[in-house]
Amino acid sequence: MKKYPIVILLVLAAGAGGFFLGRRAGTGASPAGPASRPAGAPAAPKKKAVKWTCSMHPWIIRDKPGKCPICSMDLVPMEEGPSGGGGPRELAMSAEAAEIAGIATAPVERRAVAKEIRFYGKIDYDETRVKTLPAWIPGRIDRLFVDYTGMRVKKGDRLGLLYSPDLLEAQEELLQAARQVEEGKREKNEFLKKSSLDALESAREKLRLLGLERSQIEKIETSGRVKTRLEILAPMGGVVIRKMVKEGDYVKTGEPLFTIADLSRVWVNLHAYENDFPWIRLGLDALVRAEEALPGKEFRGKVLFVDPFLDEATRTARVRLEFPNPQGFLKPGMYVRARVFSPLPAEGEPPLVVPATAVLLTGRRALVYVKKPGEGDPVFEGREIRVGPRAGDYYVVLSGLSEGERVVVEGEFWIDSALQLKAKPSMMSPRRKKEAAGGRKKGVPPEFSARVGDLLERYFSLEDALAADDFSTAKKALERMKKILSSMKGKALQFKDRPLWTRERKLLLEALEKASSAPGLKGLRAVFAPLSDLVSQVVRNWGTGGKAKVYRIFCPMAFGGKGAFWLQPDDQVRNPYFGPKMLKCGEVKETFSSKGGEER
């Protein structure tokens, strides 16, 4: 029993010794202790919390690892802190990394450029090379040598034979006048000689007015015989495009017999919209291609004429091009694609331009990535610029760049994504740092906002297809919209917001079902108008789904003047209700920003 007090005493002694040693370590008496550090040394930095993002959807940001709600890929840690390049819009990398990423640059330079304007057109006859051959005298068509349209003829070829009593009488007068001239040669009276010559010339003129050629008249005088039928001769070479008579028909004076067209030169009629007028001038070079009939062939011509008035129904003016057609490849009635090249007027030195692939357009903003000068590793800086019109493969730079700077022409999106992965703001969405959901309305979960963005993408595809009269592509876009909408149950929404989305979703699905059963473009466009109103309401309630801007555009002429709205991701009007016929008819009425607000 006496052993227990001894054990208790030993335990207490060990505890006291441990307490004593601990106090010594806390005062720094033991240099080997883990908490020892020199006096005045800074405290160890705290470890930053790691953020996780999706490499395909960088606006998805989480506090812990997991799956991307959009593509189900594993989230990756965001690279924070210095990432090369001191500014918030700068990215530095090694030359090897830039080469692997496929980043290419081009210089900002001054050069003469031309704006390329594209049209759809139709080949037509050159009206100055079309002639209609009328009947010069009344009579009967005894025979036709050209008995079908499409025959090629040369000038002077016989087209047919015409019997006419008036022709017989005029020939008799000619022969009689010719005999009087011969007899008058023996006369000494100069007055009689002159009278007989005047009578002969009058008889010749009468036959010329009846449609006989000079050679035909001379042949009658030489032979001394009357021709019972008149030869109808081709007045020019070309193709017979109309035949208005058949053998045995009686015709009156002035009645048309044949129409002949010379196809060695043809016209192409185009329809230009109002915003194209400043660029179209007489004499501009033009190229046409007939993709269906003549794949791979291209023909060069000139702008010949521009209508001085506007078609009020289509809001277009006709532009006429002229093309040589010696081999007859271009046939009237053939549809073609035309390109007209309009050089940009330059006052003094040529304009400052950059390749079109260097410019990122986000609504009304134009962005580029500039390679900063230096001999070390490349550093790329994002910059907002002002651009003028696009001229072929170039944009005219109004401000923001200087001649000689180098801009990225390949790999811009890679740089923008890399900036976001390094926790730097994106040039494409400048407000994204403030709006963690990437441009959604306040309180809308990021998963739902991303699905709204996917739905809008399919809607924009549908709108583009209708604007291009592409029915099959429009049907595919409808099916994709239905598939996305079917999966948007709204479970990520707050409980109080779910009834509103349930009602909107039901109406959208009903509208999509009606659109899917539309038999053609006309029926689909009729359903597209109420569908667009529903999608507009979705944008008002749930935001733009990560889009910087969404534009609501109105066409006052749709549906017989009633008008209709639609949405676009940019403000370059593409009318889905009229297609190419009136592609530019429309005006921006509202702008939905990434904050979910509206601009009038």
Q: Cα–Cα distance between 78 and 218 in angstroms, integer?
A: 100
Domain boundaries, the chain: 1-30, 100-113+348-413, 127-261, 265-343, 446-599
Task: Give residue-wise pLDDT tens across range 538-563.
Answer: 998 888 888 888 999 998 888 887 88
Per-residue exposure over 87-109, b if at least 16 CB sit within 10 Å of its own CB, e if not: eebbbbbeeeebeeeebebeebe
What is the enclosing helix (H) or strand (E) of 380? strand 379-391
Q: Cα–Cα distance between 140 and 169 in angstroms, integer?
A: 16
The distance of Cα 269 from the centroid of its chain, to the nearest Å, equals: 19
Q: Are the CB atoms for 198 and 172 separated by under 8 Å? A: no
Structure tokens at 426: 């994106």
pLDDT tier, 80 (very low <50, low <70, confident <90, very high otherwise): low
Q: Which amino acid is at 174?
A: L
Average pLDDT of 577-599? Answer: 78
Beta strand 104-107 with 152-153 is: unpaired
Per cent of the chain over pLDDT 90 is 32
Asked whether the predicted pLDDT for residue 493 surpasses 80, the reply is yes
Beta bridge partners of 598: 592
How high is the pLDDT of residue 165?
Answer: 85
How high is the pLDDT of residue 47?
Answer: 55
State whether residue 466 is helix, strand or coil: helix
Q: Is the dihedral of CA 364, 390, 305, 121 positive or negative?
A: negative
Strands across the sheet containing 152-153 = 130-134, 256-261, 238-243, 152-153
How high is the pLDDT of residue 190?
Answer: 75
Residue 483 contacts by C-beta under 8 Å, 6 or more apart in sequence?
A: none
pLDDT tier, 180 (very low <50, low <70, confident <90, very high otherwise): confident
The distance of Cα 592 from the centroid of its chain, to the nearest Å, equals: 24
CA distances in angstroms from 376 to 94, 328, 372, 525, listed in the order given? 9, 61, 10, 57
Of 55 and 310, the one with more pLDDT: 310
Q: Are the CB atoms for 167 and 139 separated by under 8 Å? A: yes
pLDDT tier, 28 (very low <50, low <70, confident <90, very high otherwise): very low
Tracing tokens 């001999």 back to the chain, one arrives at 375
What CATH number should be reported for the domain whose range is 265-343? 2.40.30.170
* CATH number of 100-113+348-413, picked from 2.40.30.10, 3.50.50.60, 3.40.640.10, 2.40.420.20: 2.40.420.20
Task: Give residue-wise pLDDT tens across range 563-587.
Answer: 899 999 998 899 999 998 888 888 8
Average pLDDT of 182-195? Answer: 74
Give the E-state strand segments of 219-315 in sequence order.
229-233, 238-243, 250-251, 256-261, 265-273, 285-289, 299-306
Indicate the DSSP class of residue 372. Answer: P
pLDDT tier, 36 (very low <50, low <70, confident <90, very high otherwise): very low
Q: Which amino acid is at 460?
A: F
Indicate the DSSP class of residue 546. Answer: T
Average pLDDT of 484-509? Answer: 87
pLDDT tier, 333 (very low <50, low <70, confident <90, very high otherwise): very high
How high is the pLDDT of residue 49?
Answer: 65
Q: What is the pTM of this model?
A: 0.49
Asked whether the predicted pLDDT for residue 469 surpasses 60, the reply is yes
Average pLDDT of 386-412? Answer: 89
Q: Are the CB atoms for 231 and 107 separated by under 8 Å? A: no
Indicate the DSSP class of residue 85. Answer: S
Q: Dihedrals φ, ψ of 405, to 5°? A: -65, 155
Mean pLDDT for the chain?
81
Tell me which residue of 76, 36, 38 sits closest to 56, measured CA to CA. 76
Q: Is the dihedral of CA 21, 27, 32, 35 positive or negative?
A: positive
Query: If you write DSSP's letter for every residue of 126-162 in order, what string do you get?
Result: -GGGEEEEE-SS-EEEEEES--STT-EE-TT-EEEEE
State whether residue 274 is helix, strand or coil: helix
Q: Which of 357-366, 436-445, 467-476, 540-549 has the lowest mean pLDDT?
A: 436-445
Q: Cα–Cα distance between 331 and 449 in angstroms, integer?
A: 53
Q: Are the CB atoms for 169 and 210 separated by under 8 Å? A: no
Reduce the secondary structure of 32-80 to three states and give it as a string. Answer: CCCCCCCCCCCCCCCCCCCCEECCCCCCCEECCCCECCCCCCECEECCC
Helix ranges (H only) for 154-281 are 165-184, 190-209, 214-223
Looking at domain 127-261, its CATH class is mainly beta
Q: Are the CB atoms for 245 and 232 separated by under 8 Å? A: no
Average pLDDT of 18-38? Answer: 43
Of 229 and 330, the one with more pLDDT: 330
Reduce the secondary structure of 550-593 to three states and give it as a string. Answer: EEEEEECCHHHHCCEEEEECCCCCCCCCCHHHHCCCCEEEEEEE
Q: Cα–Cα distance between 48 and 436 in angstroms, integer?
A: 19
Cβ-based neighbour number of residue 346 at 10 Å? 12
Q: Are the CB atoms for 401 and 369 separated by under 8 Å? A: no
How high is the pLDDT of residue 4?
Answer: 45
Indicate the DSSP class of residue 311. Answer: B
pLDDT tier, 428 (very low <50, low <70, confident <90, very high otherwise): low
Task: Give residue-wise pLDDT tens across range 294-304.
Answer: 888 899 999 99
169: left (phi over 0), alpha (psi -120 to 50) or beta: alpha
Q: Dihedrals φ, ψ of 228, to 5°? A: -75, -20
Strands across the sheet containing 549-555 = 564-568, 549-555, 587-593, 598-599
State whether residue 491 is helix, strand or coil: coil
Tell me which residue of 405, 415, 295 sits closest to 354, measured CA to CA. 405
Asked whether the predicted pLDDT for residue 365 surpasses 60, the reply is yes
Q: Cα–Cα distance between 65 and 483 in angstroms, integer?
A: 28
The distance of Cα 537 from the centroid of its chain, to the nearest Å, equals: 28
Task: Give residue-wise pLDDT tens across range 227-280.
Answer: 878 888 899 999 999 999 999 999 998 899 999 999 999 999 999 888 888 888
Structure tokens at 251: 């015709």
Gap between the terminal Cα atoms of the chain: 96
